[in-house]
Amino acid sequence: MMAFFRTWPGPGPIAVHAEGLLLATCLALAQLYGQHLHVCHVSRRSEIELIRRAKQHGAAVTCEVTPHHLWLCEDDLPRLGARGQMKPPLATAADRAALWANLDVIDCFATDHAPHTAAEKAAPQPPPGVPGLETMLPLLLTAVHEGRLTLDDLVARLHHNPTRIFHLPAGGQQAQTWVEVDAAAVYDLPASGYQTLCDWSPFSGLTVHGAVRRVVLRNQVVFADGVVLAAPGAGRVLAAPVVE
């Protein structure tokens, strides 16, 4: 780890899944070697408080949280069974509350989308991870409806901050790309009928406010009224080149 932190060329951050004392180690190494550390899927009070303290002391650290750690906790495990197994695991209700209480420390929302099928999750040794790609925006729009977030908070953590943190080349794309939502839509997240491979959600049954109606990517409509219109291969890699 020391060699990695010493030699990482950037310009992007060192992104880590680090919990407990390992997070403290990564924060110390990042400061020692002058690196930008990005902490993925923070889930516990102790971790978000450690990141807050590091930021207060000038550390170059950013972090992200997932919808499943913001909306679910270990109390949901009896209902979810193996479908609730993920890394990091669901934490306590108090940990979940601490994430909401420290939203100002959180730089990004990320799905950590893992499209394992229902059959894979029902296997004797189910893989960890849950889907979240299609449910993240409705859940976050619900938080806006409830006054827990503002639209500016949402846009910053889904677009502006990730672009800055990961040095993504915005170019002219942001003027040609947008998502249209119906903020007045109210409905229950379904048990099935999703576009993603796994076709299930740990959030099924939750009432949400806000639905994606249309997505325009580089001036092309790629999603409209529940139908994917993009041709296979239409995506582009947005990674900046690594400096040798």
Q: Provide the b/e sequence for 181-219 (b: ≥16 CB within 10 Å).
A: beeeeeeebeeeebeeebebbbbeebebbbbbeebebee
- Could you give the CA distance from residue 106 to residue 65 in angstroms, rounded to a whole number? 7
User: Residue 22 corresponds to which amino acid?
Assistant: L
Q: Which two tokens stand for residue 145?
A: 């409806």
Phi, psi of 72 (to 5 degrees): -115, 160
Helix, strand or coil for residue 64? strand
pTM beyond 0.85: the answer is yes
Give Cβ neighbours of residue 220 (< 8 Å, ≥ 6 apart). 230, 234
- Could you give the CA distance from residue 95 to residue 191 in angstroms, rounded to a whole number? 27
The neighbour count for residue 166, using CB atoms within 10 Å, is 17
Sheet holding 207-217, edge to edge: 178-188, 207-217, 220-224, 227-228
User: Tokens 């994606």 correspond to what residue?
Assistant: 212
Candidates 141, 115, 113, 161; CA nearest to 213 is 141
The string of pLDDT tens digits covering residues 136-159 is 999 999 999 999 999 999 999 999
Identify the sign of the CA torsion 55, 171, 158, 15.
Answer: negative
Candidates 73, 64, 19; CA nearest to 46 is 19
Give the domains, in start order, of the chain with CATH numbers.
2-171 (3.20.20.140)
pLDDT value for 174: 61
Q: Which two tokens stand for residue 127?
A: 């893989």
What does the pLDDT profile of the chain (244 residues) look like in tens digits?
999 999 999 889 999 999 999 999 999 999 999 999 999 999 999 999 999 999 999 999 999 999 999 999 999 999 999 999 999 999 999 999 999 999 999 999 999 999 999 999 999 999 999 999 999 999 999 999 999 999 999 999 999 999 999 988 765 566 688 999 999 999 999 999 999 989 999 999 999 999 999 999 888 999 999 999 999 888 887 765 444 3
First to last CA, the chain: 19
